[in-house]
Amino acid sequence: MLGQVNPVAFNLFGIAVYWYAIIIVSGIVLAVWLSSREAVSVGLKEDDVIDFMLWGLPSAIVGARLYYVIFQWQDYIDNPIEIILTRNGGLAIYGGLIGGGLALFFFARHRFISTWTFLDIAAPSVILAQAIGRWGNFMNHEAYGPATTRSFLEGLHLPKFIIDNMNIDGTYHQPTFLYESVWNVLGFIVLVLLRRKKNFLKEGEVFLGYIIWYSFGRFFIEGMRTDSLYAFGSIRVSQLVSLVLFFGAIGLMIFRRKKGAIKFYDREKGTIKKAE
């Protein structure tokens, strides 16, 4: 066996630097780079994406942390200082989307940029960053599924280092972090292909496609996780949110098409317009 992966990558001047942080930051950097390239193709500037990150990234981190803490309050009520310590995980993607979305709303209006255009630009990059970020959960030995056997994991033809590290406290577990990572990579490919269909796609539908794809997969994967956040007793928060987002995105897509006052997503001509 390769043994358990150490969550700490290295120490810098006596400060532990965690793999979780390195992986999350790597995903963000890649997302910004890809989004910047796409922004230019639809008539925006690379600086628009970079400037938004100054607004959006702090808001997304705060939103992701608050979302997690709210549903795990019993873990922090006796030691509130732990709320600001995220190096061991404790960030919820749905909270990050809420925080980042609020920042984008104000940023887009401030810059007179279509919010839908910006969401379309960011969506494929975001889901790819999420795929990368799940490996931070792997390094932290978290976000795993129910107990299973080593033979089952070997039957999935997984690399040995993944199988070895799915042995948590003497029990093998389903690698739900990997299931979601693979699902998100597939989602990235689907969204990139989807936004090429400029004669079919309406503005905002790359983003709505992201919501539909991610929430569908997350609903089923969340049902397998052993560390879900719960509300009202036995209701898994992320499953409930996934259902709302899935049907909400489909409904909004239908409504906007019937309304008819939206543009095609045209990568050559651009879709930038004044915010209404």
State residue 88's pLDDT score. Answer: 60
Report the C-alpha gap between 189 and 74 in whole angstroms: 39
Distances (CA, A) of 266 to 127, 197, 256: 21, 9, 17
Residue 244 domain flag: yes
Return the exposure string of 162-176: e unless at least 16 CB atoms fall within 10 Å of the residue's CB, then b: bbbbbbeeeebbbbb
Residue 196 domain flag: yes
8 A C-beta contact, residue 227 and residue 92: no
State residue 89's pLDDT score. Answer: 62
Q: Which residues are annotated as a binding site?
A: 134
Report the C-alpha gap between 139 and 35 in whole angstroms: 27
Per-residue pLDDT tens digits for 105-157? 999 888 888 888 899 999 999 999 999 999 999 999 998 999 999 999 999 99
For the chain, how many residues are written?
276
**Residue range of the domain that includes 252:** 8-43+116-259
8 A C-beta contact, residue 123 and residue 201: no
| Among the listed residues 93, 103, 95, the one whose alpha carbon sits nearest the alpha carbon of residue 27 | 93
What average pLDDT does range 153-164 have in this prediction? 95
Residue 274 domain flag: no
Residue 55 domain flag: no
Residue 120 domain flag: yes
Phi, psi for 34 (deg, rounded to 5): -65, -40
8 A C-beta contact, residue 126 and residue 94: no
The structure tokens listed for 121 are: 């630009």
8 A C-beta contact, residue 238 and residue 229: yes
Per-residue pLDDT tens digits for 33-88? 999 999 988 888 888 999 999 889 999 999 998 888 888 787 777 777 777 776 66
State residue 270's pLDDT score. Answer: 42
Report the C-alpha gap between 131 and 183 in whole angstroms: 8
Residue 94 domain flag: no
Q: How many domains does the chain have?
A: 1
Residue 144 domain flag: yes
Residue 211 domain flag: yes
Q: Is residue 4 over pLDDT 90?
A: no
Q: Is residue 271 over pLDDT 60?
A: no
In eight-state DSSP terms, residue 264 is: B
Beta bridge partners of 11: 16
**Amino acid (one-letter) located at 147:** A
